[in-house]
Structure 1
Amino acid sequence: MPSKLAAAASPLPFHRLWNAFLTARVMVALALLLLQLLGIALNQAGEPLLFSICLGYLVATVALRVWGHGAVPDPRPGIQWLPSIGLDLLLVSVLQALQQSGGLNFTPLFGLPVLMAGVLGSLTLALATTAGATLLLLAWAWWLGTYGGAGDGTQRYLQAALTGTGYFIVAYLVHLLAAKLTSEQQMARRSQMDARTHRAVSALVMQHVADGVLVLDLHGQVRLANPAALLMLGHKISGDSSLTLTHTAAFKPLMDLACATFQMERPQHADVNVLHDGQIPMALRVRAWLTHTQDAPDDSPGEPLCVMFLHDLREMEARLRTEKLAAMGRMSAAVAHEIRNPLAAIVQANELLDEDLDDPTQKRLTHMVRQNADRLVRITEDVLDIARVQHQINQASSSTVALDATVQQVWNDWTAQDPARRQGQLVLDAGAAQVEFDAEHLRRVLVNLLDNALRYKGPEPDSLCLATRATPGGKAGVQVWSDGAPLDKSVERHLFEPFFSSESRSSGLGLYICRELCQRHGAAIGHQRTTRSLARGEVAGNAFTVTFRSLSRPADSASLFDTIVV
């Protein structure tokens, strides 16, 4: 048997048993004292010494109950058991010795210390306590036979031996039961710790997993729903178990899938649409499992539940599209890199051929070759720009630039390249605002946006506008506006994706590079349909707005290493 029986187990059950034994000792002390008082009240010869001993025992038991209930003593034999087991053995011996022949028999009270030692102590303590009680019984039998004049003591010796044997059996069995309780408490404690760990981990996973998790019972009641599931289902479901899916018509596809899972008792999966009134349908891919089937073993935990995993099809398609675009970008960059050398040879050969030709028809052909070669060069450079941006975008640090001055310089350089076509309004309202952005990167973003606006603007001089602004809160922004036609919804959704363009002659990389550069510097870029007040009235147009993050450091000069060379 373990030497530390009570200490090895969970302290709570043995602490309760310890307190129970202390209370029982107080009750025994009260019973002995009341017995002495009753004898005095009935005018029987009372022993003052017996009364004093019972009163002292009551005081000792109450004191131990008050001050000794904090912790269970060490189960090994030692002086820590003298105030309890030792005192009880001594009390019973004294009471039995002071009691006259034919009076009360106090020897059954030996059962209390024997039980206490068997339950709370080690096996050695239990056997030692029982041996002590047995020796005291034999000593009492010898005393009666020698000095008590009781005649033949054989029967008393046999009675004492039989009682001691019974105490040994009780002490051993009680100790086995206590050891069993120790083992069960250890297992229960480990199981409780494992359950708490699993519950904490499950709660953490449920809160942060991207997939929606929904747990339903046979009646469609929602037992559990994580935040992702609530978001996918439009915040119509809470963790309240009184709410069922059958209460909302939009959730009927989910309920039908749950019913099929319960009926067939095997996993199910389907693509469903959750449609609330006045909202866009939510396309979901749902996989459902049962926690256990109806004919599962009897130890299965409760009724079967249906666990649903919800996946947003739009996010899955977007992720797949992004992966495809990334793969396409890597392949395109490799192809563009291989095209540059033969393309340069074609351009050079065409220029040499053009120098030796005089026929106007042949000159037109070489001019067509030059135009298309230049177009291929621009497309190749745009494709390679993606690789350059992705490689260098995390290495260049932002610098602080004056917004209005930088925009003014970019506007002047851009309009000077073609003053006849590149006309528009410049509105500088940012004042002395400064933004964290690389000057060359900002020039590239603005040039891409201006070229894009020039392509779709109207013929009026005020059809294009470049404006800056600054809010009192420190937010600064720049906007490129043109009076072009509204964008189709299918085009607007993919504006900033690579290789997407509504024109066959465009590479579809300009806005994508603008977004990547803005994200690099903590800025945001977006498109909206806005109206501007012009001299010709209120005119609607397309606006691309870059909103810069708040300035977090003092101005400094731009570094050469902050520039991406293209």
Structure 2
Amino acid sequence: MPDNLLSRSWRSEEQIHELLATYVSARAVLGLSLVVMQVLPWFVLRRGEPGASLLICGAYAAQALGVWLWPKVRTLVRGRIDMRQWWLTIGADVLVFSALHALDNNSSFNFAALLVLPVLMAGVLCTWLPALATSAAVTLVMLGVALDRAAQGGDVAGLLMQSGLAGGGLFIITLVAGQLANWAASEERTAFHSLAMARQQAELNRLVIDEMAEGILVVDAQASVRVANPAARALLAEQGEGDGPEAPFSLQDRPGWWMLWRDVERAFSSGHWPPVGTDLTLTYEHHPPRAIRMRIRCTQRPVASSVSGAPPADPQGLAVVFLEESSSVEARQRQERLMTMGRMAASVAHEIRNPLAAIAQANELFMEDELRPDQQLLGRIVADNVERLKRIVEDVLEAAPAGSVASSVLDLATETEAIVQEWCRTAGVARSPGSLLRLTLPPGPVGVFFDVHHLRRVVVNLLDNARRHTASAPEAVWLGVSDEGVAHVRLWVGSQGEPIAPDVERYLFEPFHSTRSRGTGLGLYICRELCQRHGAMIDYQHRPDTSHPNVFSVVMRRAAWPGAR
């Protein structure tokens, strides 16, 4: 019989090992029980004499105990039972129980019933061919014993009928046991798969929840917090407590959480919560109160009480509590309002351009005439304010959201040199040793992905800011280009002015934030937006140990350029 016919392929190695170990243990117990049942009538009741049945039972008990004590019998080969294991267990049972059934003709014990055990285990452990072969072998043994007893004067028809029915029952047992084992193994495999998927989903949920900036609590009706992500623990933590309390914990543990639990309990009772959430204040012992925006979603609807009619909290329900600092919510809302205002301002600025151009043209025509000194002064005032309005309009239009802009490949060294020359002419800065500006460019071309007009806007803005906030000293402003790894190039503008205050630094690249009364607060914001359109990044660093401590850097993507390093 081939080894691959002895175990069902749909059952795992662990399942076969457990079934085989249980079967081996049961055989040892059964062998000892057979010996006791053979010895007890003769030793206690002094009935009969021990015969061949006792010897067979003793040998079977010894064999079963030996197999039970021999670990190698329970060791599977390639995940299935082999021929050696089959003969030591199922085969031995068929031989021993058949001998007992054939020899003990006048015994009060019905040894034929024991033949069900190897048939049953063959149906569970083996494939259909060896299982049915085991049933056929046992059936032939029973028919042979029936014929032997009929030859000794028994009822031939009755004995053969009894043996035939018993053999048919054994075949049915084999089929049913195999199908049940197949179904149980399939269910177990499905359960293990479902459990693995559930664990994987739980781990993914945990990772997603932990990475969320919004605090999340999962609370039951008994105020027990089952899950709390780091953001929620930080909001609930006392000063000096570190990362906050670890779940599970109760919202009733601290008085400062009382308002939070009150609202959660109210949500359990009503079964719903306003979608926009509500504001509450958490109090702490060692630091000021904290304003919190809370939203709640319940997993179970309340069950109406049969006594009072009030909807009590469902003890099996859970509430998902979303926590966020009110200041963060307000900042996000303020940013959304600013974006809306920016789009509206861009629309207004676009409409202002034509009337502004008409005013500028009319003023130029007015200035061509012979005017008195006071009229000339008024004309110059109009021209200056028209130019200021034009710059404001251009800033607003640049700050407005734009679609995707295709980046071109340009030589950063050449373009920067041209932009610096134009800026020096416009700003009245000399290009000579000891001048305000120091320029450091690589000797060869440097290819980057950007846009020429956008690069000019960024460089001019950074140079204007550096000049405005530094002293008029030689080389007080330093512009340079250097490598930033293999895939990027860095353009930087350093100045010797006073460091930027921390409360100003955090808003450097935010729109409409300016330290000048006549500023729009859009310059650095526009620089950031233009850099992001081309995959670049702009940043500010304060380097106190250098000659130019205030440094604005623009890191751009390197591009292939003929002759570039």
Instruction: Classify the secondary structure of the residue corresponding to 1:246.
Output: coil
| Residues 1:271 and 2:279 are matched in the alignment | yes
Question: 1:431-473: per-residue Cα shift (whole Å, max 9, x none)?
Answer: x9xx99999677424433246548xx9xxx89xx76899xxxx
| Residues 1:111 and 2:119 are matched in the alignment | no
CA distance in 1, matches of 2:190, 2:184: 10
- 1:252 maps to 258
Task: Give matches, 1:358-373, under 5 Å.
Answer: 358-373=371-386
- 1:24 maps to 26
| Residues 1:507 and 2:513 are matched in the alignment | no
| Residues 1:318 and 2:321 are matched in the alignment | no
1:222 to 222, 225, 230: 225
CA contact (8 A) 1:36 1:46 kept: no
CA distance in 2, matches of 1:140, 1:389: 97
- 2:196 maps to 193
Cα distance change on mapping 1:558 and 1:426 into 2, 3 Å: farther
CA distance in 1, matches of 2:428, 2:411: 28
CA distance in 2, matches of 1:378, 1:314: 34
% same residue: 32
How far the C-alpha of 1:511 sits from its partner, in A, is 3.6
TM-score, normalising length from structure 1? Answer: 0.67
CA distance in 1, matches of 2:15, 2:388: 86
| Residues 1:136 and 2:141 are matched in the alignment | yes
CA contact (8 A) 2:150 2:156 kept: yes
Question: 1:464-518: per-residue Cα shift (whole Å, max 9, x none)?
Answer: x76899xxxx99986657689x9997x8875532234466643332242355578
Q: Could you tell me which amino acid in structure 1 is paired with residue 198 of structure 2?
A: A
- 2:539 maps to 524
- 1:202 maps to 205
CA contact (8 A) 2:271 2:301 kept: yes
How far the C-alpha of 1:70 sits from its partner, in A, is 1.8
2:359 to 346, 349, 358: 346
- 2:310 maps to none
| Residues 1:239 and 2:251 are matched in the alignment | no
CA distance in 1, matches of 2:502, 2:66: 94
Q: Could you tell me which amino acid in structure 2 is paired with residue 257 of structure 1?
A: D
CA contact (8 A) 1:9 1:185 kept: no
CA distance in 2, matches of 1:558, 1:238: 60
How far the C-alpha of 1:339 sits from its partner, in A, is 4.3
How far the C-alpha of 1:524 sits from its partner, in A, is 2.4
CA distance in 1, matches of 2:401, 2:120: 84
How far the C-alpha of 1:140 sits from its partner, in A, is 0.6
CA distance in 2, matches of 1:216, 1:247: 14
Cα distance change on mapping 1:6 and 1:240 into 2, 3 Å: same
CA contact (8 A) 1:23 1:65 kept: no
1:70 to 76, 87, 90: 76
Instruction: Classify the secondary structure of the residue corresponding to 1:496.
Output: coil
CA distance in 2, matches of 1:332, 1:204: 41
CA contact (8 A) 2:35 2:54 kept: no
CA contact (8 A) 1:39 1:46 kept: no
1:261 to 250, 257, 267: 267
Cα distance change on mapping 1:274 and 1:525 into 2, 3 Å: farther
CA distance in 1, matches of 2:221, 2:401: 57
CA distance in 2, matches of 1:508, 1:63: 86
Q: Could you tell me which amino acid in structure 2 is paired with residue 116 of structure 1?
A: M
Cα distance change on mapping 1:154 and 1:353 into 2, 3 Å: closer
How far the C-alpha of 1:373 sits from its partner, in A, is 1.7
Q: Could you tell me which amino acid in structure 1 is paired with residue 262 of structure 2?
A: D
Instruction: Classify the secondary structure of the residue corresponding to 2:245.
Output: coil
How far the C-alpha of 1:258 sits from its partner, in A, is 1.4
- Equivalent residue pairs, number: 524
| Residues 1:290 and 2:303 are matched in the alignment | no
Quick check: 52-61 or 495-504, which moved more? 52-61
Cα distance change on mapping 1:217 and 1:44 into 2, 3 Å: closer
Instruction: Classify the secondary structure of the residue corresponding to 1:306.
Output: strand
Instruction: Classify the secondary structure of the residue corresponding to 1:8.
Output: coil
CA contact (8 A) 2:536 2:555 kept: no
Quick check: 275-284 or 253-262, which moved more? 275-284
Q: 5+ unaligned residues in a row in structure 2: which ranges?
A: 305-312
Cα distance change on mapping 1:215 and 1:395 into 2, 3 Å: farther
CA contact (8 A) 2:147 2:156 kept: yes
Cα distance change on mapping 1:328 and 1:552 into 2, 3 Å: closer
CA distance in 2, matches of 1:117, 1:174: 9
Question: 1:250-271: per-residue Cα shift (whole Å, max 9, x none)?
Answer: 4333222112123333335312
Cα distance change on mapping 1:118 and 1:265 into 2, 3 Å: same
CA distance in 2, matches of 1:57, 1:144: 29
How far the C-alpha of 1:223 sits from its partner, in A, is 1.5
CA distance in 1, matches of 2:71, 2:41: 27
CA contact (8 A) 2:251 2:258 kept: yes
Quick check: 209-218 or 91-100, which moved more? 91-100
Quick check: 445-454 or 374-383, which moved more? 445-454
- 1:449 maps to 465
How far the C-alpha of 1:21 sits from its partner, in A, is 1.7
CA contact (8 A) 1:400 1:557 kept: no
CA distance in 2, matches of 1:177, 1:79: 26
CA distance in 1, matches of 2:245, 2:563: 53
Question: 1:117-148: per-residue Cα shift (whole Å, max 9, x none)?
Answer: 343456776666445433322321211232x4
How far the C-alpha of 1:84 sits from its partner, in A, is 4.6
Q: Could you tell me which amino acid in structure 1 is paired with residue 145 of structure 2?
A: W
Instruction: Classify the secondary structure of the residue corresponding to 2:252.
Output: helix
How far the C-alpha of 1:182 sits from its partner, in A, is 3.7
CA contact (8 A) 2:343 2:401 kept: no
Cα distance change on mapping 1:339 and 1:66 into 2, 3 Å: same
CA distance in 1, matches of 2:344, 2:203: 45
How far the C-alpha of 1:110 sits from its partner, in A, is 0.6
- 1:539 maps to none
CA distance in 2, matches of 1:236, 1:123: 61
CA contact (8 A) 1:214 1:229 kept: yes
Q: Could you tell me which amino acid in structure 2 is paired with residue 261 of structure 1?
A: A
| Residues 1:377 and 2:380 are matched in the alignment | no
How far the C-alpha of 1:225 sits from its partner, in A, is 0.8
Cα distance change on mapping 1:54 and 1:38 into 2, 3 Å: farther
Q: Could you tell me which amino acid in structure 1 is paired with residue 122 of structure 2?
A: A
CA contact (8 A) 2:463 2:493 kept: no
Task: Give matches, 1:464-483, under 5 Å.
Answer: none
Instruction: Classify the secondary structure of the residue corresponding to 2:216.
Output: strand
CA contact (8 A) 2:269 2:302 kept: no
CA distance in 1, matches of 2:163, 2:373: 139
Q: Could you tell me which amino acid in structure 1 is paired with residue 382 of structure 2?
A: V
CA contact (8 A) 2:538 2:553 kept: yes
Q: Could you tell me which amino acid in structure 2 is paired with residue 229 of structure 1?
A: A
How far the C-alpha of 1:287 sits from its partner, in A, is 1.2
Instruction: Classify the secondary structure of the residue corresponding to 1:117.
Output: helix
Q: Could you tell me which amino acid in structure 1 is paired with residue 394 of structure 2?
A: E
Instruction: Classify the secondary structure of the residue corresponding to 1:288.
Output: strand
How far the C-alpha of 1:7 sits from its partner, in A, is 4.1
CA distance in 2, matches of 1:511, 1:87: 90
- 2:307 maps to none
CA distance in 2, matches of 1:477, 1:440: 14
CA distance in 1, matches of 2:245, 2:387: 61
CA distance in 1, matches of 2:406, 2:461: 14
CA distance in 2, matches of 1:483, 1:55: 97
Q: 5+ unaligned residues in a row in structure 1: which ranges?
A: 419-424, 531-542, 560-566
How far the C-alpha of 1:307 sits from its partner, in A, is 1.6
Q: Could you tell me which amino acid in structure 2 is paired with residue 264 of structure 1?
A: S
